[in-house]
Chain A
Amino acid sequence: MSGVFSPSRAKIAVRTLRTDRWWLQPAITVAVLVSFIIYATIRAFEAKFYFAEPLISPFYSPCLTSACPTNGSLLGQPFGTIAIFGMVISPALFILIFPLGFRMTCYYYRKAYYRSFWQSPPACAVAEPHKTYTGETRAPLILQNGHRWFFFAGLIFNVLLSIDAVLAFRNAEGQWGHMSIGTLVLLTNATLLWLYSASCHTCRHTIGGRLKHFSQHPLRYKLWTWVSVLNHKHPTFAWISLFGVALTDVYVRAVSSGSISNLYFF
């Protein structure tokens, strides 16, 4: 008998006396994240309908293997064909490692999945089901301390996806000076990803949080105050940027598969 049922604590037989619907938020979190994981997995293995000149899905950018269309990346196809036991590996599987790592180690998502998936705890003042707890002091969870490396990798992807959005100001023939719904979709996606990264706790720390004397670094202090404002909205940016990535892929897939045509404004 441990925790709230320890001998010295008040003798109360139930794990919580909360009367509100404390289970709702973790349930929604599980539903949304599982849905995203299923969708992303299907799309990563599908390995087609991810490119429709000039649009490319964020799941497949930068597309650097010979499985990609030749005009799918400004960086060419430096990795050639990657195959295991004769099976060509989808380029998305290599790309998704980095954004997945960034989100898995994100301080906000950690809260979300520790509560909802691991029930540690499922909600505040609701006893968790585990007998022991060591937090993030041992492998594998001690690796959460590597969040900053995924943050920096995420910045590289943000740059690449921003370039994709700029390239989307072309038409299907590669001529500049055009704009379509796809352009807006890619721009929105890149903007949301920048907001998610800029509001990140590691960004806040790197930009100025680690300083002891703000007064000696006025520029970094100013940047820190801006990032701190964004940091208040980090959970919001975490969710809407996740939806943004999925919906961008849905749109590119729909255009690439011919289900819809990419409407051009000019």
Chain B
Amino acid sequence: MARKLNMRIWRGDSVDGALQDVQVEANEGEVVLDVIHRVQATQMGDLAVRWNCKAGKCGSCSMEINGKPRLACMTQVASYGEEETITVTPLRAFPVIKDLVTDVSFNYKKAMEIPAYAPPSDLKPGEARMQQVDVERSQEFRKCIECFLCQDTCHVIRDHEENKKSFAGPRFFIRIAELDMHPLDTLRNRKQTAQEEHGLGMCNITKCCTEVCPEHIRITDNAIIPMKERVVDVKYDPVRWLGSKIRKREGIV
């Protein structure tokens, strides 16, 4: 059954902007992205919104709905009360371009700073063989759709613009963890660089990244904390350090 929905949509650009009230029809089963499209079609023809798959798989329609980072295409209108006003804003951790569209290029720059997968040099195409138990940890992190909601909610950069130069963010900590746990990756200093170059030590594990992940990746428990423990192995644990010197190995086999 259709109903009238009260919305507040942020309109503006990098110079100025404000929340604008709008009333729009919402039908049963619709998601927030549906009603934003209806607003765009009927009342705000120049409303900028980024979207693509409408299936929670492309990560394009990331925005903040009633203050929470969410995918608009996966947020049911019915999950809000009949009388509740739905407030929609762009991601607040990134520079705004127009209306609900932000500049997320920060994330692509950070992605380029992560050293790529480094298989053994003598491994020829088609020769890679791995046990399932050895790759399943990394496979969880491959579910990431790069919606950057975790990056948006992370207070290290959301609340401190100056940290952006030295902090990669949770999306890239799962990338580092994925590679460090990969059975065929040979790069030995991922743990050190995670701490020294990508800012793993800045994370204070408050788990907001995990809370907002639409793919339900356990970012903190399965990637960030294991990486923090691996960093302790190589940087802050004298017993493990000594063991690695005596046994002539990194300590991780």
A: which residues have CB within 8 A of B? Answer: 2-4, 6-12, 16-20, 107, 110-111, 114-115, 120-121, 124-128, 130, 132-137, 141-142, 145-148, 201-202, 204-205, 209-216, 221, 231-232
Contact = CB atoms under 8 A, between A and B. Distances in A.
Q: Which of B14, B158, B230, B252 has the largest count of A CB atoms less than 10 A from its CB?
A: B158
Contacts of B155: 120-121, 127-128, 133
Contacts of B64: 17, 125
B16 interface: yes
B249 to A, nearest CB: 11
Interface in B195-246: 199, 201-208, 211-212, 221, 225-226, 228-233, 235-237
A205 B202 contact: no
Contacts of A115: 206
Contacts of A202: 229
A135 B201 contact: yes
Contacts of A232: 221
Contacts, number: 168
B159 A3 contact: yes
A148 B92 contact: no
Given A124-B208, A209-B226, A133 B232 contact: no
B163 A213 contact: no
Interface in B178-207: 181, 183, 199, 201-207
B253 A3 contact: no
A11 B89 CA distance: 10
A120 B204 contact: yes
B82 interface: no
Interface in B81-103: 84, 87, 89-90, 92-96, 102
| Among A142, A214, A231: residue with most chain B CB under 10 A | A214
A120 B208 CA distance: 11
B21 interface: no
Contacts of B181: 212
A148 B237 contact: yes
B183 A16 contact: no
B156 A133 contact: yes
The 6 closest A-B pairs by CB, nearest first: A18-B67, A17-B67, A135-B202, A124-B208, A8-B95, A215-B131
Nearest to B96: A10
Given A136-B202, A213-B253, A215-B133, A125 B18 contact: no
B60 interface: no
A12 B10 contact: yes
B202 A19 contact: no
B206 A121 contact: yes
B56 interface: no
Contacts of A114: 204-206
Contacts of B233: 210
B10 A125 contact: no
B59 interface: no
B232 A111 contact: no
Contact of A10 (B10, B131, B221, B253): B10
Contact of A142 (B17, B201, B225): B201
Given A6-B161, A107-B205, 19 more contacts: A2-B162, A3-B159, A8-B96, A9-B95, A9-B96, A10-B10, A10-B90, A11-B16, A16-B67, A107-B225, A120-B206, A125-B158, A127-B158, A135-B199, A136-B201, A137-B201, A212-B183, A213-B253, A214-B133
